[in-house]
Amino acid sequence: MSEQQVQSPLPGLFYLRPAPDQPPFVEVGSVVTADQSVGLVEVMKQFAEVKAGVAGTVTAILVDDAAVVGPGDPVMTIETSD
Amino acid sequence: MQKLLIANRGEIAVRIIRAARELGISTVAVYSESDQGALHVRLADESVLIGPPAAARSYLDMDKIISAAVDLGVDAIHPGYGFLSERAEFADKVVEAKLAFVGPTADSIRLMGDKARARSAAEAAGVPTVPGSDGPVDGLDEALAAAEKAGFPALVKAAAGGGGRGIRIVKDAKELADAIPVAQAEAQAAFGNGQVYVERFVPQARHIEVQIFGDGERFVHLGERECSMQRRRQKVIEEAGAPGLPPHIREAMTSAAVALAAATRYRGAGTVEFLYDAVREEFYFIEMNTRIQVEHPVTEMITGTDLVREQLLVASGEPLSWTQEQIEFRGHSIEVRLNAENPDFGFMPSPGTLKSMQMPGGPFVRIDSGFGPGKEVSPFYDSLFAKLIVWGETRDIAIARMDRALSEVEVEGVVTTADFLRKIVALPEFRKGEYHTTFLEDWMAAADAAGTGAGSAS
C-alpha cells in the first residue's frame, strides 16, 4: 500500500464534476481504477479528462471545484490497492 | 454617451476602447485577477478588478459588472463578443440599471437565440430556410413527407443536439425508415429528448454570412463574408467578399438579410449566417448573431467603415451614418486568427508568456490584438491572441500580402498557428476559392494519412 498523488497535467481550471449540475467524479473513499476519470481540466476553453493513473481508494481531494491549477499541481491522493 | 464600460477582454476590448477614444468617450475596463497587466486595462481610462480568473466569477458575473458600471457613473456597456454579448438577461439588467446596452434589444437577442423562433422569423420575412420538416417529426410517415420536401440525401438531426452531434445522413427512403427509430432512441439516451427532425443535406456546403446594421428604422447590409475555412466548426480564415459567388446570389442573399433585419426592427450590428449550396445555387438561413463578430474587420477593410464606432453612435441614439447607396465596396480582405495552439499536437492549447511578439506591418496590413511582448496568454480564456487582416485591390493581391505578412510573424513563448495558416493560404483550393466547410478537416486528415502532417512545418 502506498499513496500516489494525482497531478493536473495542464494549467487551467480544475473541475471535480463533469458538469455543474452533476455529482462529482469521485469523493473521499471512492474506489477507482487506473483509467477512471477523476476530474476535468479546462485550458483555453478546451476540456481534458484527468485519469486516476493508479487503482486504489481516494484518500484526499486537495483542491476545490473550479480551482486554478498549474501543470503538475497535486489535485488528489489515492492509496493504491496492491 | 460620455463614459463606456467594456464587459470583455483581449483584442475586442482593445478594439472597442480605440473606437470610443476616437469619439471622445472615456472608457472603463473590467478585468480578472489573471488579467491585471493586460493591454485593455492599460489602454482604458479607468479599470476595475471584478473577480478571480474563472470567467463565471468575473467576465460572466452580470451583477458585479453592472454594479461597477453604476459605481463609476458609466452610461453605456459594450459586451463585445462571446461572454455576455448574447445573453438577453444581461441586456435587460443593463437597461434596468438605466444604462445603454451597446447592441440590439433584449427581445431581439431572445428571438434569435431560439432556433425555432428564429427560423419562423426568417420564413415570415421571406428568407429561405433549409428545406425539411417544420419542427420535430412524429412517426415515419411525417419523416418521409419531410424527406420528400428535403430531397435525398437528407439529415436526421436530434432536436436537442448541436455542434455536429446527433446527426445522421440517409441516402434514401429505406435508410430513413431504418434510421428514424434508432435516431430517436439515441437522441433520448444522449440528450434526454428523443425528438428528431429531417432536413436537406448539402454536401460541400459553404458558410457565407451577411453583415447588417440597423438603427430600428433603417437597415443596410455591408456585404458578405466567406467563412467556410473551419476546423471543428471554428472559423480559421475569413474573407470579404465571398470568392466566386454569382452576383445574383449575392444580391438575393444581402437583400434577404436586410429583410430579416427590417422585419425584426433590428438595432445595431448583426450577422445573418447562410448555408450556401453552390451546386443548386441556393442559400438557406442558419442563424442570426446579434453582436459584433470576430471577423468584422474584413468588412471594414472593403467598405472603409468603422463598425464599432457605428455601434457606439447607434447606441447613443444617432441614426445610421450611411444609406445603402453610400456603402461602397472596394477590393478584397482576408483575416486569419493567430491562436496560441500547437498544430503538431492536435492543436493543444499553448498558454504562456510572450517572450517576444513581432507582428507584420507594411501597407494594408492590420493587427488587432489584446497582447504584446511580455504579456501572458493565460490558460483561462480563448486561445486567440491576434487577428491578422490584409486588404488588396484584388483577391490575388490580398493572398500574396497575407502570405508575406504571415512570413513576418515571430512569436516566442507560446506555440502559434502561424505556419499552419501559411500552409492553408498556399493551397491551390484556397487560391482558387474552391473550398467548403469540411474542406480543411478533409485536407488535414489526408495530409496525416500521407504522413506529411497538416500541422508539421514542412
Residue B456 makes CB contacts below 8 A (sequence gap 6+) with B344
Q: Are residues B25 and B44 in the same domain?
A: yes
Residue B289 makes CB contacts below 8 A (sequence gap 6+) with B86, B112, B270, B271, B273
Question: What's the number of domains chain B is made of?
Answer: 3
Q: Are residues B179 and B271 in the same domain?
A: no
Q: What ipTM is given for this predicted complex?
A: 0.83
Residue A3 predicted with pLDDT over 60: yes
Residues of chain B with pLDDT under 70: 162-164, 453-458
pLDDT at B387: 98
CB contact under 8 A, B56 and A68: no
Q: Domain range spanning residue B373?
A: 206-449
Q: Which residue bears the cell 483577391?
A: B395
Q: Are residues B170 and B276 in the same domain?
A: no
Provide, as residue numbers in chain A, all residues whose Cβ is less than 8 Å from the Cβ of B351.
11-12, 43-44
Q: Are residues B69 and B192 in the same domain?
A: no
In a domain, B109, yes or no: no
What stretch of H or E contains B293?
Answer: none
B56, B340, B379: residue with CB nearest A12:
B379
DSSP string, B236-279: EEEEES-TT--HHHHHHHHHHHHHHHHHTT-EEEEEEEEEEETT
What is the domain partition of chain A in residue ranges?
3-80
For the stretch B281-312, pLDDT in tens is 999 999 999 999 999 999 999 999 999 999 99
CATH number of the domain residue B298 falls in: 3.30.470.20
Domain at A3-80, CATH class: mainly beta
Q: Are residues B147 and B230 in the same domain?
A: no
In a domain, B251, yes or no: yes
Q: Using the 3D structure, point to which of B57, B82, B102 is the last residue of a domain.
A: B102
B53, B56, B349: residue with CB nearest A44:
B349
Q: Are residues B305 and B444 in the same domain?
A: yes
Q: Using the 3D structure, point to which of B81, B102, B123 is the last residue of a domain.
A: B102
Catalytic residue among B110, B291, B366, B422: B291
In a domain, B119, yes or no: no
Q: Are residues B390 and B301 in the same domain?
A: yes
Q: Are residues B37 and B90 in the same domain?
A: yes
Q: Are residues B335 and B404 in the same domain?
A: yes
CA distance B399 to chain A (A): 29
Q: Are residues B222 and B195 in the same domain?
A: no
For the stretch A26-58, pLDDT in tens is 999 999 999 999 999 999 988 899 999 999 999
Provide, as residue numbers in chain A, all residues whose Cβ is less than 8 Å from the Cβ of B340.
44
In a domain, B67, yes or no: yes
Q: Are residues B310 and B408 in the same domain?
A: yes
pLDDT at B188: 83
3-state secondary structure of A7: strand
pLDDT at B454: 58
Q: Does the annotation mark B18 as catalytic?
A: no
pLDDT at B458: 40
Q: Are residues B51 and B196 in the same domain?
A: no
